[in-house]
Every structure is written in C-alpha cells, then in structure tokens.
Amino acid sequence: MLELSKLDIDTIHWQKLIGQADSYLKRLFPICRSITGDGVRQTLSILREITDFKIKEVPSGTRCYDWTIPDEWNIKDAYIEDSGGKRIVDFKDNNVHVVNYSVPVNATITFRELEKHLYTLPRLPKAIPYRISYYNKDWGFCISHKQLCGLNKNAKYHVVIDSTLKPGKMTYAECLVKGSSDQEFLISTYCCHPSLANDNLSGQVLWALLLKEIKNRKTRHSYRFVISPETIGAICYLSKNEKVMRNIKGGFVLTTVAGPGKLGYKRTFLGDHAIDRVAEKTFRELNADYIPYPFDIISGSDERHYSSPYFRIPMGTICKDKYSEYDFYHTSLDNLDFINPKYLIETLKVYLLCLHKLEINCTYRSLSPYCEPMLSKRGLYPKISGHIEQKVFGSAGKPDTNGELRAILWVMFYSDGNNSVLDISEKTGMPMKLIYETSQKLLALKLLEKI
C-alpha cells in the first residue's frame, strides 16, 4: 500500500515521461476534435497506447437530464477561394479556421455576405480565434484580423465546408483503478478542442500519463478516470453513472497544464475541502509560487456539472497557465510552441504529490487515551531527559532535533478518532509524511488503531 509515495523515482523515469509527453502532443495536436466524431475516436485510440482504458459511445438523440446528445459532426475539408480560385483560407493549414460544428456549405458569395460568417480577434491581429456552434446550426470561418483587413471588399468568394452532421455517436472513455478502501476520487478531463495545445491537449496527455502512473502503484483509494467532450460528455457520464458518482469524495479536473506561466490552483466550490487542503499544502511544501483562483461558475469546466446540487463533488484544478487567463487562450497561438512537455510533467508531479497526500490521509484512534502512554518503556523517549528545547516545530533557525519525539507526542495527543493525518499536520505545522510515518510506527506498537 501507499507506494504512491515513491515520488523520488529516478530522473531517468521523469526524462522518459517528458519524451513520451512530447511525442504524444506532436501526434495528437493536428487532429480536428469536437464534441463528437472521428477526431475524438482517433484521439482516444492514440491515448490508449499509453495505457488501457474503456472507450464507450452513446447514440445521438440520447437524453441526458436537460440535454440531448447531438448529431455527430465530421469534416473532410473547408476553404475560402478568391475570385481567381486561390485558396486564401484553408482548413488543412489550421483546423481552427472553421467554426467547430459548422454545417456544410458550398456557395459563391459577396464579401458582405461572407463577413457575417467571419470571426477575428482584433486584440491579437495575427491569431485565429477558436469558435464553436454546437447547438445552433450555422457555419463560419475564423481568420486573423490582419487577413480580414487585407480582403477585397468588392470581390466575390467561393466558400466550401465539406462537413457532415447526422445521427451517430458521442465517444468518451473511462477507467476505474480499484483501491483497498471504499473511498473513490474522480480524475476528469475533456477531449473536444481541435488544434489547441494548452487548452486542452495538455490535459488529455496528462490524464493518460497520470492514469498509467496510478495503475503502476497500489493505492488505498479508488480513482475513476473519465475523459469526455466538455459539458455534454460530463453531463452524459453523470446521467449514466448517477449512483456511483454521488458517492465520489472529490477530485480534479485536469486542464491547461503545460503553459509557460505560473502554476495555479482553482479551488473546489467548498474552498476548504480535503482536495483544496492537500493541493495548497503541496504548493507550500514545494515552495511553489502559484496563483490561487476561487471557484467560479462562468469561467469553469466540468466541475460545474460534477459539483451541481445533486452530485456536489468537490473538484479542484491545478493549472499551468489557467484557461481564460492567458492571452493566447482559445486562439491558434495556443499551439505546440506555446507549451512545453517539461511543464506538463512538472504539473503531473504536483498531481501525484496531491494524490499521495490523499492516500496517507488516514485517521487513527489512541489505544492509550488515559494520559500520555509511557514512551520510555517502548524505547521512544530519550534515556537521559530534561533537555528538550521548548521550540515550535518549523520555526526559523536550527533544525528540530526533537522532531521525532514531538511528532509522537502530537500524534498521540490528537489521535482521538476525529483528526486525520491532514488535520494533525495543519494543527502542528509538521509535514503530513512525518505524521503518517509516525502514526504507522505507533500503529505497529499497538498504541493506535486505524479507523
């Protein structure tokens, strides 16, 4: 049990993971994903090369609470030609050029008509914005603002979107890693964005690598890994797994994990749940400079559904360049030059440290609650005493030479069945690992029982 603590895995392992992340990011980036269609199928089957999981499909028209699985969308080609027949916008150059879920079109139209279907971003004149129209049947092209300014306003243009929108299926995947306890946590991400790197190809690759890391260890808790199109996928998953999802203790939505900016932590809707406490403790222990974000409902991902009134699963998110916050968010500049596989693996490590803290967050009860137990007869007390410094653990200056004894006394003091390892760590300022290892020692000496 608890082999998750083996985070001091040699650097060769981390280097290997960086190389793996790099190659999967490069292979997956060009795929045109959406909330349904072959792009999602292809993405999931490539991710499954990293580690096995179940791929499932739900037919179009299936009701999921207030939502319905839409028709399946696929696209072969799309372009705008000028009057000379030259392709001036080409889906094959960048799939972000097409408004995702565009209905098919093949027409020659004036600039004025075309303009109603063009989307640009004046703030970033060289970037192609990412736009979607899942539930409103429409078509459109996204181009740089610079390109728009250069278009001939008096010319006619030939627009083609060779897409299909018809009854099919929505694809998602899951994997349940069973632990020894009855506590289950959720690790979720989304796989519906086309060629956009930080949001959220990085989250997809991290999801698969984290799943593999967890499967390679024996864990106390169970971990349910879900990867689905954002919003409709999570809603569908909740509707199909209502009973088990209601019992999930908490979890993380993996997104935007490999940008060059600062680490960030978006809190759960509770703000002080164990998920929040282990995440913030991990950042503190790593001495990491991170940005805390409150739970927010407009700017959010699938935690909006996982945490909805019926389910109330507290979901946190650790990011590196959080969605909505970086300039290139939802634009063609969120590409492979923007992210770095090294950052992705750094975020993976932070997630593993958080999960390790959840793993060791046990609760014990003292079997010697009537005053302090006699430590000296168990060899736990200095033979010659009277020299213990009255020093609070963790205060500046010399290292705490009595750390081990202090931990024993605190663990015995707080182990009344109401304080977990995390609680004791927060109350004493001592690392969770020390509290846990001390508790294990006292458990072996039959001074504690595990609850």
Residues in touch with Zn ion (CB under 5 A): 199
Nearest to 59 by CA among 236, 178, 203, 216: 236
Nearest-angstrom CA–CA distance, 172 and 197: 20
Q: Which is nearer to Zn ion, 217 or 330 (CB)?
A: 330
Q: Residue 330 Cβ, how far from Zn ion at the closest point, in Å? A: 6
Of residues 200 and 282, the one with the C-beta less far from Zn ion: 200
Of 71 and 199, nearer to Zn ion (C-beta) is 199
Q: What is the DSSP string of 339-363?
A: --HHHHHHHHHHHHHHHHHHHH--E
Q: How far is the CB of 193 from Zn ion (least distance, A)?
A: 6
Question: Before 418, cis peptide (omega within 30)?
Answer: no
| Nearest residue to 280 (alpha-carbon basis) of 299, 293, 296, 269 | 293
Helix (H) or strand (E) holding 278: helix 274-285
Report, in Å, the least distance between residue 283 CB and Zn ion: 24
**DSSP alpha helix (H) spans, 182-273:** 202-215, 232-240, 242-246
Backbone angles phi, psi at 162, to 5 degrees: -95, 75
Q: Which is nearer to Zn ion, 199 or 302 (CB)?
A: 199
The nearest distance, CB 102 to Zn ion, in angstroms, is: 18
CA angle at residue 430 from 425 to 434, to 5 degrees?
90
Which amino acid is it at 361?
A: N
283 versus 329: smaller Cβ distance to Zn ion? 329
- Quote the tokens at residue 238: 């909740």
Q: Give whichever of 72 and 199 is closer to Zn ion, judged by the CB atom.
A: 199
Q: What b/e readout covers 93-102, taking b as 16+ CB neighbours within 10 angstroms?
A: ebbbbbbbbb
Nearer to Zn ion, 264 or 373 (CB): 264
Q: Smallest distance, Å, CB 130 to Zn ion? A: 7
Please state the closest distance from residue 246 (CB atom) to Zn ion, in A. 27
Decide whether 169 or 330 has the Cβ nearer to Zn ion.
Answer: 330
Closest CB to Zn ion belongs to which residue? 199
Residues 6 or more apart whose Cβ sits within 8 Å of residue 339:
25, 197, 198, 202, 258, 259, 260
Token pair listed for 183: 């506590």
- From the CB of 192, what's the least distance to Zn ion, in Å? 8
The least CB distance from residue 252 to Zn ion, in Å, is: 17
Longest dimension (CA), the chain: 96
DSSP 8-state secondary structure symbol assigned to residue 4: G
Q: In sequence order, what are the residues at sequence separation of 6 or more whose Cβ sits closer than 8 angstroms to the Cβ of residue 297?
A: 304
Nearest CA-CA partner of 12 in 340, 357, 345: 345
CB of 135 to Zn ion, least distance (A): 16
Q: Residue 127 or 353: which CB sits closer to Zn ion?
A: 127
* Between 199 and 321, CB nearer to Zn ion: 199
Q: How far is the CB of 207 from Zn ion (least distance, A)?
A: 15
